[in-house]
Amino acid sequence: MPGEMIPVIAIVMGCLIPMVAIWAKHKQKIAEMQVSTTAAATAEKAAQYSSRVQQLEDRVRVLERIVTDKGYDVATQIEALRDERRVEEVGSGVPLDIKTAEKA
């Protein structure tokens, strides 16, 4: 009985080895596809982040230019906006003009 099993085991192993090789090759292709997909997605994200960073840098440059521009007094304008908002909340009165107040 054990002698009869040897040819059967040989036939099964002869079929099993190529099947395992095909399965392993298939798994390798799937892994390679996943890596390439991940790399493409990462590159796309990097491009999006780069674009967004560029937009933010442009905005900061504009803000720096506004703040450092000669004759531009940010604090005065902020206070003027606050005064206008106070007048709107109260509903009466005249907005305080700092230049006019200084002359008086």
What's the confidence (pLDDT) of residue 22?
92
The pLDDT, as a whole number, for residue 55 is: 93
CB 92 within 8 Å of CB 86: no
Dist CA 28 CA 36 (whole Å): 12
**pTM assigned to the model:** 0.38
Chunked into runs of 10 residues, the chain (104 residues) has average pLDDT values of 82 88 93 86 90 92 78 70 71 54 51
Residue 47 lies in a domain: yes
Confidence (pLDDT) at 54: 93
Counted domains in the chain: 1
Q: Give the pLDDT of residue 41.
A: 86
Supply the range of the domain harboring residue 47.
1-56
Q: Would residue 40 count as lying in a domain?
A: yes
Place of tokens 């040989």: 10
Indicate whether 71 belongs to any domain: no
Cβ within 8 Å of residue 97, ≥6 positions away: 80
d(CA 71, CA 32): 61
pLDDT at residue 99, rounded to an integer? 56
Instruction: Find out whether 98 and 79 touch, Cβ atoms under 8 Å.
Output: yes
User: Is residue 82, in this structure, part of any structural domain at all?
Assistant: no
**Residue at 76 is within a domain:** no
